[in-house]
Every structure is written in C-alpha cells, then in structure tokens.
A and B are shown apart, each in its own frame.
Chain A
Amino acid sequence: GIQVEQSPPDLILQEGANSTLRCNFSDSVNNLQWFHQNPWGQLINLFYIPSGTKQNGRLSATTVATERYSLLYISSSQTTDSGVYFCAVDAYTGNQFYFGTGTSLTVIP
C-alpha cells in the first residue's frame, strides 16, 4: 500500500498564528483529502484536493501530485482549530484511503 507521512506530528500555536502541515506520499495518487478530527472522533472534511490549490476561509491547501506532497495552511489560528489533522490518499478510484498518522494541533489562547 501507499505510505503516507505527515509532519510535524505535534504542533502548539498561540491563537492568531499561522501554520503549515505537510503530507508526503509514496506513490502516485488519484485522490487526496484533508480531514480534521474533533475531540469526539468525528472526521470533518476540509478539502478534496488530488491536485492544485483550494481555499476555504482561513484554510487553504495545495497538492503537487508530481512531487508527491500536499500542504495544509491554517492562518490566524483559533482555539477551535485544535484537534488532529489527517491526510488520506487513494491510488485507485474510490476503493480505499490510506491515512497518515496525523498532526495533533493545539491552539492556546
């Protein structure tokens, strides 16, 4: 299967700071998603981004498929951004996702 590595594993930010989370993957992928897992375990969709750049409010993401990485940018972080961020990739159309081990983000007021 595809290996997915996320960095950093842990991140502590002061409220209002910006951050960049990285996802490296070991093979060509058709699909890539970023999720935020809240403290209750719910995975919330952030971006479906197999390639290119997208923005949604304070969050944006870029995937460079040819170089096998994706970046998630969080600007002006808020305490509600705390949680674990996962990157998931899929080499085959819709069969399964391979998840990274996540980046645990803590935003302190």
Chain B
Amino acid sequence: DTGVSQNPRHKITKRGQNVTFRCDPISEHNRLYWYRQTLGQGPEFLTYFQNEAQLEKSRLLSDRFSAERPKGSFSTLEIQRTEQGDSAMYLCASSGTSGGPYNEQFFGPGTRLTVL
C-alpha cells in the first residue's frame, strides 16, 4: 500500500491552456474524490466516483472541468481554457477499504496549479 499518489505535483500554465491531472488511489479503494483548496481555506469538494461511475458533482465544477475514472482505478481531472482563478491545490482522496472504516478518506499530496 503506497497511499494515494498524484501527478504532476506542480503545474504552471498560461491562461487559456488545458491541463490534466492524474490520481492513483489506494489500490483496494473503490471510492475516489477530487477537492480544490485555495490559500487560507479548507478543501472544497469537486466530484466523487464510486468505481467508474461519477455519482456527484459540485456546483464548483464548471463546464470547463471534467473528471473521469475509466476503469474504476486511476482518475483524471482536466481543466480546459484555464483561468487565473483556477490557481489552487487540487487534492485527490480515496476510501472504501474493508480493512477499516469504509468512509475514511485518505488524501494524496496534491497538484499545485499556477495559471499565469
């Protein structure tokens, strides 16, 4: 068990470009979550997958944002036509093991996005 991993750890892009982030959850977890955190704030929920099904999306997830989890394992979060307001830390979490509380979420190290 290597924990939740995210790539890249840092991304600098110019306004208007598209970016894609990847999250690899803990291997036996069937639930995966994306959050966004801006400076001085707590993380805010973006979206949730159970296996490959995207079951919940926040109003924060505008049309420029899309997330996938094609085989119920890793997930990608894509932001199209980035804006400076998209600059934030994007966090991924997973849960759903039979070895502990089913709903206990474990977080990855995050991807810090800077939009110039």
Contact = CB atoms under 8 A, between A and B. Distances in A.
B101 A48 contact: yes
Interface stretch (B37-45, B64-72, B78-86): B37-45
Interface residues on A, range: 20 to 34
Contacts of A94: 31, 48, 50, 95-96, 102-103
Contacts of A100: 42
B55 A97 contact: no
A41 B103 contact: no
B105 interface: yes
A98 B56 CA distance: 14
Interface in A76-109: 86, 88, 90, 93-102
Interface string A25-64: 0000011010100001111010010000000000000000
B103 to A, nearest CB: 4
B77 to A, nearest CB: 15
Contacts, number: 65
Contact of B109 (A35, A42, A99): A42
B42 A86 contact: yes
A102 to B, nearest CB: 6
A4 B41 CA distance: 12
A99 B43 contact: yes
Nearest to A6: B42
Interface of A: 4, 30-31, 33, 35, 40-43, 45, 48, 86, 88, 90, 93-102
15 contacts: A30-B103, A31-B104, A33-B105, A35-B107, A41-B112, A43-B93, A45-B104, A45-B105, A88-B42, A94-B31, A94-B50, A95-B56, A97-B45, A100-B42, A101-B41
